[in-house]
């Protein structure tokens, strides 16, 4: 269901709303109950991919021939900020 929501998002605002919904679910400790993946990386990658598609479609609608790409690297271990 969430995968379809990201796939069907047509505007920057729709993608932003999805990402804010995820952020709120995590803050409330309810991400699993609301159907979000257990890894924030998967959600952030879906957000970046969807936003990239929206930007490309916006530019195309304006007549631009700009190629829009996104780079989603693999898992990177980071130290916690302390």
Catalytic residue selected from 26, 41, 47, 68? 41
Q: What is the pLDDT of residues 2-13, one digit of tens each?
A: 889 999 999 999
Q: Is the pTM of this model over 0.85?
A: no
What pLDDT, on a 0 to 100 scale, did the predictor assign at position 71? 83
Please check whether residue 22 is in contact with residue 36, taking contact to mean a CB–CB distance below 8 angstroms: yes
Active site residue 75: no
Mean pLDDT of all residues belonging to the chain: 89
* CA distances, 45 to each of 23, 40, 60, 63, 65 (Å): 14, 9, 22, 27, 25
Q: Is residue 81 over pLDDT 80?
A: no
Q: Is residue 75 over pLDDT 70?
A: no
Between residues 51 and 42, the one the model is more confident about: 51
Between residues 77 and 12, the one the model is more confident about: 12
Question: Tokens in use for 66?
Answer: 């700009």
Q: Provide the sign of the torsion angle of the four alpha carbons 26, 72, 49, 5, taken in this order.
A: negative
C-alpha–C-alpha distance, residues 49 and 70, integer Å: 7
């Amino acid at each position: 269901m969430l995968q379809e929501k990201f796939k069907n998002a047509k505007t920057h605002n729709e993608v932003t709303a999805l990402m804010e919904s995820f952020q709120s679910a995590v803050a409330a400790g309810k991400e699993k109950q609301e159907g979000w993946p257990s890894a924030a990386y998967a959600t952030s990658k879906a957000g970046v991919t969807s936003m990239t598609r929206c930007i490309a479609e916006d530019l195309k609608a304006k007549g631009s021939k700009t190629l829009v790409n996104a780079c989603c690297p693999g898992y990177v271990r980071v130290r916690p900020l302390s």
